[in-house]
Structure 1
């Protein structure tokens, strides 16, 4: 199927994050990132990111949660604070996505990054530089 030129750029607006407890999961991520969850919107509890995208936490108690990966580009000057928040709540962070290097960060693409699990096992990533694309 051929691609067509559009007059406006396509942007991600929101995505749903499945959780066994939407409040717990939204509060956890918001705390680590230095954000505040928004007001409930129907069955969703949004966490508004700085670029107009929301993560809409949705409770699924009757089905197992399928872990996903969510990566956040964060300001370099806030990275150490986020790592300190992970330490403060007793969450181990890792230098790699497979969680084999606990308590370490990576230095990919000239920045810093770390991976950690949220309460439902979603693999969260914070990074200060976007990945290089060809």
Structure 2
């Protein structure tokens, strides 16, 4: 069996809010949730599990980077939703080009933060 990516746990302060953000922006499917997780299902069966971190044990969330490959049509819809919601976004990971997208790697891309502060990237073409 080849190696495939199955799931990851993403730290949140409000797991329901983070899951809702992903469902709304990326049009991700709601998935059954259990225990400490609120789950979102991406294409290919990839599960993102949001878990609240207790503030007393983890006063700060270590922000991570997550990149999502989408088609041009979803990019257009998702980018429109980001702008409508006033989500700050950039064309580059250095955040030097605010309010813009990029056309690098033969496609389009944009960087933005989720409700927990994780740095998300949405691209229309893979880097490789």
The TM tier, using the shorter chain, reads over 0.9
Match of 1:29 among 22, 29, 36: 22
Normalised to the residue count of structure 2, the TM-score between the two structures is: 0.92
The match for 2:71 is 75
Cα RMSD for the two superposed structures: 1.1
Question: Shift of residue 34 of structure 1?
Answer: 1.4
| Cα drift, residue 51 of structure 1 | 1.5
1:38 is aligned to: 31
Aligned pair partner of 2:12 in 14, 19, 23: 19
Q: Please report how far the alpha carbon of residue 124 of structure 1 lies from its aligned counterpart in structure 2 after TM superposition.
A: 0.5
CA contact (8 A) 2:91 2:110 kept: yes
Count of aligned pairs? 125
Q: Distance in 2 between matches of 1:41 and 1:13?
A: 17
Query: Is the 1:26–1:47 Cα contact (8 Å) retained in structure 2?
Result: yes
Task: Look at both structures and tell me which one has the larger radius of gyration over its CA atoms.
Answer: 1
- Structure having the larger proportion of residues in strand: 2
Which residue matches 2:108? 112
Are the aligned partners of 1:27 and 1:36 in contact in 2 as well (CA < 8 Å)?
A: no
- TM-score, normalization: structure 1? 0.89
Q: Which runs of 5+ in 1 are unaligned?
A: 1-7
Structure 2: gaps spanning 5 or more residues: none
Partner deviation per Cα, 1:11-38 (whole Å, 9 max, x = no partner)? 1110000000000011012111012432
In 1, are the aligned partners of 2:29 and 2:42 still within 8 Å (CA)? no
